[in-house]
Amino acid sequence: MTKYVYFFGGGHAEGSSVMRNLLGGKGCELAEMTNLGIPVPPGFTVTTQAWAHYNRSGHEWPEELWDQTLENLHRLESVAEAGFGDPQRPLLVSVRSGARVSMPGMMETILNLGLNDTTVEGLAARTRNERFAWDCYRRFVMMFANVVLGVRREVFDAEFDAAKSRLGVNERTGRPFPEDVKEQLRLAINAVFDSWFAKKAAEYRRIHNIPEEWGTAVTVMAMVFGNLGETSGTGVGFTRDPRTGDKRFYAEFLPNAQGEDVVAGIRTPLPIEALRERMPTIYDEVLEIAGRLERHYKDMQDIEFTVQDGTLYLLQTRSGKRSARAAVKVARDLVDEHVIDQHTALLRIRPQEVNEAIRPIFDDREKAAAIDRGRLLARGLPAAPGAAVGKAVFDADRAVEWARAGEQVILVRPETSPEDVAGMYAAKGIVTSRGGRTSHAAVVAVGMGKACVVGAAEIVVDEHRRVFEVGGRIVREGDWISVDGGSGEVLLDIVKTVEGELGDEVQELLSWADRYRTEGLGVRANADTPTDAQRAREFGAEGIGLVRTEHMFFAPERIPIVREMIMAVDQTTRRAALEKLRPFQRDDFMGIFRAMDGLPVTIRLLDPPLHEFLPNHKEYKELVETRSRLEALGINPEEQARLEALIANVEKLREANPMLGHRGCRLGITHPEIYGMQVRAIMEAACTVTEQGVHVEPEIMIPLTGTVGEMKETFEQTKRVADGVIAETGVAVRYLVGTMIEVPRAALIAAQIAEHAEFFSFGTNDLTQLTYGYSRDDVAKFLPKYLDMGLVPHDPFSVLDQEGVGEMIKIGIERGRSRRPNLKIGICGEHGGEASSVEFCHRVKMTYVSCSPYLIPGARLAAAQARIKERQAGGGDYRA
């Protein structure tokens, strides 16, 4: 017989932490706490296996489940010394959802179950509190009707408000729910099972990559009441500050209230000192338990507790959501405190988090100036750090819509609920007028890494009119506001931000990471300017993996010369234009070489189609118009002829499919003078700075190679020019000539390519485009649909497709190294900074990954994690 139900209570539990997948996070930790001797109301958990059966069989329970439920219900009755449905001593329970990972508020929970017309009287009599009993009943009817019977909550809000003011109690007639408490229980368990499929839960799963088949467990436990008067109350707390990671109890308390009021952000709780003042012994007890839980779980905990008539109960513990900065600090501090080791600390932080920890912050002076100018709208509670600037929107749908259209938005709400999660995700920042630091908005925002201010009470949100009002000022939808989640300030207009920097904690953590990485992947940056190169170096880049030379062509003062070069009708004119560009390029390279003194710099020769440098639509129209005007007026024949030739040339250069057209090494082959100029500029720069004592290692990279012929031709061309410069200057500079592997054919013939290439760099943007046959510029037309339908698991342009594109890479590496065993191999596509892709690059034994400067810290960590995991799995030498 399968065991579908696990009991906890009376100091002993059948489950424990290790049964997380079966009992869900909530269920397994309630069991664990029970076994630790921590006061937890008794109850039992129905497993995710039961859910799986229910799900598979079209909502049928496994045969044994009802009997097992009843059996555990009896046990619960005897431990709780109350009877389910008993008119004198009614047992009330909560029916709680809980998946193996925490999905705060995304699924349903029903409280006060077990009340009906009879038991409510019993409850009133036992507690000698009629008002309380009816309030419980009201809450239950509402929740049950909403969650189980699908009655919209607003219907109840309106009715109850009216009824409450009339009678002081609830409406009793016409309840659409069962009087039979066992039937209530059965239906509630079903409803919690079903809540796995609620829209908000599905959205949350999508955002956080949680598999659909995990399902939820259901915990049924005795109710405890924080709303029994002044010796009762409820609280939520973190064992460390989730915004900063500081070691202090960060908690809130609300006297005479039920926990759901705090968690939902409906009422703003008091600082935890309120508990210390009112119930000092309970306060000490909470603190002691919090510390015990943290040491037991070896991580910062987020706990919920309720005090019923002077007795403390823990209702939940889980590892607490935290800001990126806090994640780093907590992990580092726990190593210092000898709670965890460095491996654990490094594996515990998501690479994305160290990137977030260096996100921009507001420029202090700019912010002070804005406040001086009267731009401060409100101060609320600083709930999640970060500087966010965006247009105000007032509902989640609008946030999603606008963000999709490329707008930056700030979601402003009275409070948030789980329905708003997609909107919160789409927004840059979140502001609520109600709720405390542990409200839904705060917890979710911290987890998502969004700047968030809660409880900004001066702000009055009018969702209907799509405005908020504050101190007589009206802010409309679409108005720009700035949100400082670190200080709690909400400002009108755009406040300037400054770039973030690596704090001491991040530095230290990354230094550990680098230690484990020495036998693994290198990390380089994609950087096109000396400033970017400098920044990359500060973030720990060990070289540059990609300098895109075309970006240097786009500068305003250069574009006319570039056009001259492109449009040149003959070699002489083209050479003359190129000669004008050479000093610019040389200066750019010198700047980058200086910034990267001692480190390798990979420079890619011109790659994009010449088409991209042509006059844009408007400029072209003007050209044609001027020509026509001159013609009509019959003046300036020379100018007419010049324009005529220009227009003809533009027409000639236009391509039907430029991405597959005249670009990359194809340009270098048809116009050798272009690459010739670039190589000369690179080598002149290298020789010049070498003479000044800078150590340079230029790596000249040919883009878009697809045939051996192309490789051989461009390799020899490059060598000729480069060696020429060395001979002229008499400065010996060691340099390499290699290629991008971004055309599938190049990966397939990598062995032959390697004969003429001294290094490879996988250009996974083009390689993905060409392997899938998806145009990067048009993919938005169908990819979102594909993602929705689950036809592809990720956007392959941001997460490397390991089975397809990855296979191409493996083949390329294997064949390339078969000819040149020590071939240096890197990746320089967008994927080089994405954690799962970095892990892949480690597995296939690349030499380095290269990514944008701001992703370098994350890449350093991801590479270290890949190595640590490999070692834990018994992997040996990194090098092939």
6 by DSSP, 3-state: which?
Answer: strand
Report what 683 binds from Mg ion, ligand ADP, none; CB cut-off 5-8 Å by kind.
Answer: none
Rounded distance between C-alpha atoms, residue 414 and residue 435, angstroms:
8
Nearest-approach distance from CB 27 to Mg ion, in angstroms: 12
> Would you say 22 or 566 has its CB closer to ligand ADP?
22
> Would you say 486 or 806 has its CB closer to Mg ion?
806
Pick the stretch among 149-157, 318-326, 494-502, 764-772 that binds Mg ion (CB under 5 A): 764-772
Q: Is residue 396 within 8 Å of residue 424, measured between CB atoms?
A: yes
Question: For residue 848, which phi and psi values (nearest 5 degrees)?
Answer: -155, 165
Contact between 520 and Mg ion by CB under 5 A: the answer reads no
Report what 109 binds from Mg ion, ligand ADP, none; CB cut-off 5-8 Å by kind.
Answer: ligand ADP
Report DSSP letters for 836-877, one per residue: HHHHHHHHTT-SEEEE-GGGHHHHHHHHHHHHHHHHHTT---
Report what 763 binds from ligand ADP, Mg ion, none; CB cut-off 5-8 Å by kind.
Answer: Mg ion
Residue nearest to ligand ADP (CB): 259
- Which residues, in sequence order, are CB contacts of 262 under 8 Å at separation 6+? 234, 235, 236, 252, 254, 269, 436, 438, 439
Nearest-approach distance from CB 306 to ligand ADP, in angstroms: 5
Q: Which two tokens stand for residue 346?
A: 């490094």
Nearest-approach distance from CB 767 to Mg ion, in angstroms: 8
Report what 259 binds from Mg ion, ligand ADP, none; CB cut-off 5-8 Å by kind.
Answer: ligand ADP
Nearest-approach distance from CB 109 to Mg ion, in angstroms: 7
Q: Burial level of 151, CB count in 10 A (0-12/13-18/19+)? A: middle
| Number of other CB atoms surrounding residue 56 within 10 Å | 11
Q: Which two tokens stand for residue 773?
A: 């046959």
Nearest-approach distance from CB 429 to Mg ion, in angstroms: 24
Nearest-approach distance from CB 28 to ligand ADP, in angstroms: 14
Nearest-approach distance from CB 448 to ligand ADP, in angstroms: 17
Rounded distance between C-alpha atoms, residue 710 and residue 712, angstroms:
6
> Would you say 259 or 429 has its CB closer to Mg ion?
259
208 catalytic? Reply is no
> Would you say 112 or 847 has its CB closer to ligand ADP?
112
Angle at CA of residue 573, ends 567 and 577, nearest 5°: 80
Report what 591 binds from Mg ion, ligand ADP, none; CB cut-off 5-8 Å by kind.
Answer: none
> Would you say 489 or 801 has its CB closer to Mg ion?
801
Pick the stretch among 84-92, 194-202, 395-403, 763-771 that binds Mg ion (CB under 5 A): 763-771
Establish how many alpha carbons lie within 13 A of residue 575's alpha carbon, considering only the half-sphere containing its beta carbon.
6
- Which residues, in sequence order, are CB contacts of 320 under 8 Å at separation 6+? 238, 239, 240, 242, 299, 300, 301, 302
Rounded distance between C-alpha atoms, residue 329 and residue 506, angstroms:
8
Nearest-approach distance from CB 217 to ligand ADP, in angstroms: 11
338 catalytic? Reply is no
> Would you say 98 or 833 has its CB closer to ligand ADP?
98
Question: Which one from 687, 828, 841, 851 is the annotated catalytic residue?
Answer: 828
Q: Which two tokens stand for residue 75?
A: 């046990």
Nearest-approach distance from CB 761 to ligand ADP, in angstroms: 47
Nearest-approach distance from CB 485 to ligand ADP, in angstroms: 23
Contact between 302 and Mg ion by CB under 5 A: the answer reads no
Residues numbered 695 to 754 that lie near Mg ion (CB under 5 A) are 742
Report what 233 binds from ligand ADP, Mg ion, none; CB cut-off 5-8 Å by kind.
Answer: none
Residues numbered 308 to 367 that lie near Mg ion (CB under 5 A) are none
| Number of other CB atoms surrounding residue 336 within 10 Å | 11
> Would you say 41 or 738 has its CB closer to ligand ADP?
41
Contact between 830 and Mg ion by CB under 5 A: the answer reads no
Q: Burial level of 139, CB count in 10 A (0-12/13-18/19+)? A: buried
> Would you say 260 or 564 has its CB closer to ligand ADP?
260
Rounded distance between C-alpha atoms, residue 25 and residue 299, angstroms:
15
Q: Is residue 328 within 8 Å of residue 346, measured between CB atoms?
A: no
Q: What is the 3-state secondary structure (H, E, C) of 531-589?
A: HHHHHHHHCCCCCEEEEECHHHHCCCCCHHHHHHHHHCCCHHHHHHHHHHHHHHHHHHH
Rounded distance between C-alpha atoms, residue 217 and residue 47, angstroms:
5
> Would you say 192 or 685 has its CB closer to ligand ADP?
192
Number of residues in contact with Mg ion under rule CB under 5 A: 3
Contact between 833 and Mg ion by CB under 5 A: the answer reads no
Identity at 721, one-letter amino acid code: V
Angle at CA of residue 580, ends 578 and 584, nearest 5°: 100
> Would you say 604 or 671 has its CB closer to Mg ion?
604
Nearest-approach distance from CB 92 to ligand ADP, in angstroms: 8
Rounded distance between C-alpha atoms, residue 135 and residue 132, angstroms:
5
Report what 221 binds from ligand ADP, Mg ion, none; CB cut-off 5-8 Å by kind.
Answer: ligand ADP
Report what 315 binds from ligand ADP, Mg ion, none; CB cut-off 5-8 Å by kind.
Answer: ligand ADP
Report what 306 binds from ligand ADP, Mg ion, none; CB cut-off 5-8 Å by kind.
Answer: ligand ADP
Contact between 763 and Mg ion by CB under 5 A: the answer reads yes
Contact between 766 and Mg ion by CB under 5 A: the answer reads yes
Q: Which two tokens stand for residue 13?
A: 């539990």
> Would you say 222 or 841 has its CB closer to ligand ADP?
222
Indicate left, alpha or beta for 147 from its phi (over 0: left) and psi (-120 to 50: alpha).
alpha
Report what 449 binds from Mg ion, ligand ADP, none; CB cut-off 5-8 Å by kind.
Answer: none
Query: 136-155 mask for Mg ion (x: CB under 5 A)?
Result: --------------------
Q: Is residue 678 within 8 Å of residue 606, measured between CB atoms?
A: yes
Nearest-approach distance from CB 238 to ligand ADP, in angstroms: 14
| Number of other CB atoms surrounding residue 118 within 10 Å | 15
Strand order in the sheet with 270-271: 270-271, 250-255, 233-238, 301-308, 311-319
The number of residues in the chain equals 880
Report what 260 binds from ligand ADP, Mg ion, none; CB cut-off 5-8 Å by kind.
Answer: ligand ADP
Question: Which one from 440, 671, 756, 842 is the annotated catalytic residue?
Answer: 440
List interacting residues with ligand ADP (CB under 6 A). 41, 94, 96-97, 104-105, 109, 111, 221-224, 258-260, 263, 304, 306, 315-316
Report what 766 binds from Mg ion, ligand ADP, none; CB cut-off 5-8 Å by kind.
Answer: Mg ion
Handedness of CA 551, 552, 554, 556 (dihedral sign): positive
Report DSSP letters for 56-80, one per residue: HTTSPPPTTHHHHHHHHHHHHHHHH
Pick the stretch among 7-15, 16-24, 180-188, 758-766 that binds Mg ion (CB under 5 A): 758-766
Report what 761 binds from Mg ion, ligand ADP, none; CB cut-off 5-8 Å by kind.
Answer: none
> Would you say 40 or 696 has its CB closer to Mg ion?
40
Nearest-approach distance from CB 728 to Mg ion, in angstroms: 32
The residue assigned the tokens 């219900």 is: 73
Contact between 505 and Mg ion by CB under 5 A: the answer reads no
Handedness of CA 777, 778, 782, 784 (dihedral sign): positive
> Would you say 48 or 316 has its CB closer to ligand ADP?
316
Could you tell me what percentage of the chain is helix, strand and coil, using 3-state DSSP and rounding each to the nearest 5? 50, 20, 35
Rg (CA), the chain: 33
Binding stretches for Mg ion (CB under 5 A): 742, 763, 766
The catalytic residues are: 440, 828
